[in-house]
Amino acid sequence: MQREGSAFAGLGVVTLKELSDHLTSVRMRVLEWLVVLVALAALYGAIQQIKDTTAEDPFLFLRLFTISRDPLPSFVSFISFLVPLMAIGLGFDAVNSEYNRRTLSRILAQPIYRDALLFGKFLAGLATLAISLLALWLLVIGLGLLLVGIPPGAEEIGRTFLFLLITIIYAGVWLALAMLFSILFRSAATAALVTLGIWLFITFIWPVLAGAAAQIIMPIDPRYASLGLPTPGTAEAEHILARLSPTTLFAEVVVAILDPTTRSLGPIYLSQMQGAVLGAPLPIGESILIAWPQTVAMIASVILLFVVGYVIFQRQEVRA
C-alpha cells in the first residue's frame, strides 16, 4: 500500500529547528570547548615531538595528527575517544525528550510523517558534528602552519580532508546508536548510560576479548609459538572479531589514510612483500583502496543502526 504524500514533507523544517537547538545548547558549548582544549594539548605534544626529531619526513604535516608525546596521546586517538562522546551527547535524548516534554503527539498531529522527524533529528545531529569537526580540522591545519612553519602539500591536504570525512562517518555510527537507544528507552538517563556503557565495552573491553575469543576459536599452533610467531589462523580470527567494533574500523582507516606507507591492514606474508620498496609511500588512491572496505562497513553500520531505530519508532505508540 502506497502512502499518501512525501515521507520527507517537513524534513527541512525539523532539521533546521533541531540544528539551531543543538548549536545554541549549553551541552554543545561544553563539548566544543572540550574538543578545542584537547586538540590544543595533543597538537602541542605533537609539535614538541616533531621539533625534537629532525624533520626528514616527506609527510611532516600528517605527523601532526598521528605523533604523540608522552603522556599525551596523539590527536587522532583523542579524536577517536571524543567523537563518540560528542555524538552520544547529541543523540541520547533525541526522541525520548519529545515524549517526556509531551510534544511528540502534538508535532505528529501536524501533516508530516514520523520519518521526517527521525531523519531530521539525525541529519541535524550529523550536521552539528560535521560543523564542529570542520572547525577543528581548520584549527589544526592553521595551528600546524603557524607552529611548524611548513606548508602542507596538496596530497597532505587531501589526506587530512579524507580523515575529516571519515571522522564524520564515525561520528554518524555513534549518533545512530545513541538515537536508537533514545527510541528504546523513555528515560534519557537510561539511554545515555546504556550508550556510554556500550561505547566503553566496544572501545576498551572488546579488543581484549577479541584476542581471547580468537584463541578459543582458533587455538594457537605451538609450532608457530615456538618460533615466536603469531599463528596465522588465530591472528585472522582476532582481526575479524576486532573489526566488529567501529572503533577498530576507524583506527584502521585512519592508519591507512594518514600514514601513506601503510600497505595492508591485516596480516601480510613475506611472499606478498616481494619487490616492494619498504617504507615507500603509496599514492592517495591506493591508500583509499586499502581503507575502502572499512569505510563501507562504517557507512553500513550507520544505515543499519538508523533503520533498526526507524522500524522501532514507526511501531511505537505516541501516547506517553
Partner 1 sequence: MSEQAVIEAKNLTKVYGGRAAVDHISFSVGRGEIFGLLGPNGAGKTTTILMLLGLTDISGGEVRVVGFDPAREPLSVKRRVGYLPDTVGFYDQMSAADNLRYTARLIGFKKAEREQKIAAALDRVGLAEQAEKRVATFSRGMRQRLGLAEILMKGAQVAILDEPTTGLDPHATSELLGVIRGFKAEGVSVLLSSHMLERVQSICDRVALFSGGKIALMGTVAELGREILGGGYVVDIEADGAGLAERLALIPGVSGVERTGIGKLRLQADRDVRPEAAAEVVAMQGRLKFLGVQEPSLDTIYTRYFERKAEQAVASKNGARHAA
List contacts with partner 1 (CB under 8 A).
Answer: 1, 3-5, 9-10, 13-14, 17, 101-103, 105-113, 317-319
Least distance to partner 1, CB of residue 111, Å: 4
Query: Of 6 and 53, which CB lies nearer to partner 1 in the complex structure?
Result: 6
Q: What secondary structure does DSSP assign to 125-147, as a single string?
A: HHHHHHHHHHHHHHHHHHHHHHH
Least distance to partner 1, CB of residue 169, Å: 30
Query: Of 111 and 228, which CB lies nearer to partner 1 in the complex structure?
Result: 111
Beta carbons within 10 angstroms of residue 119's beta carbon: 18
User: Is the distance from CB of 61 to CB of 148 less than 8 angstroms?
Assistant: yes
Q: Which three cell numbers stand for residue 36?
A: 578545542
Least distance to partner 1, CB of residue 179, Å: 19
Query: Of 20 and 48, which CB lies nearer to partner 1 in the complex structure?
Result: 20
**How many residues make up the chain in this entry?**
320
275 φ/ψ sector (left φ>0, alpha ψ -120 to 50, else beta): left
Query: Of 66 and 187, which CB lies nearer to partner 1 in the complex structure?
Result: 187
Query: Could you tell me the CA-to-CA distances from 191 to 27, 92, 124, 152, 194 in Å, in that order?
Result: 16, 6, 19, 42, 5
Q: What are the φ/ψ torsions at residue 229 (nearest 5 degrees)?
A: -110, 150
Query: Of 99 and 250, which CB lies nearer to partner 1 in the complex structure?
Result: 99
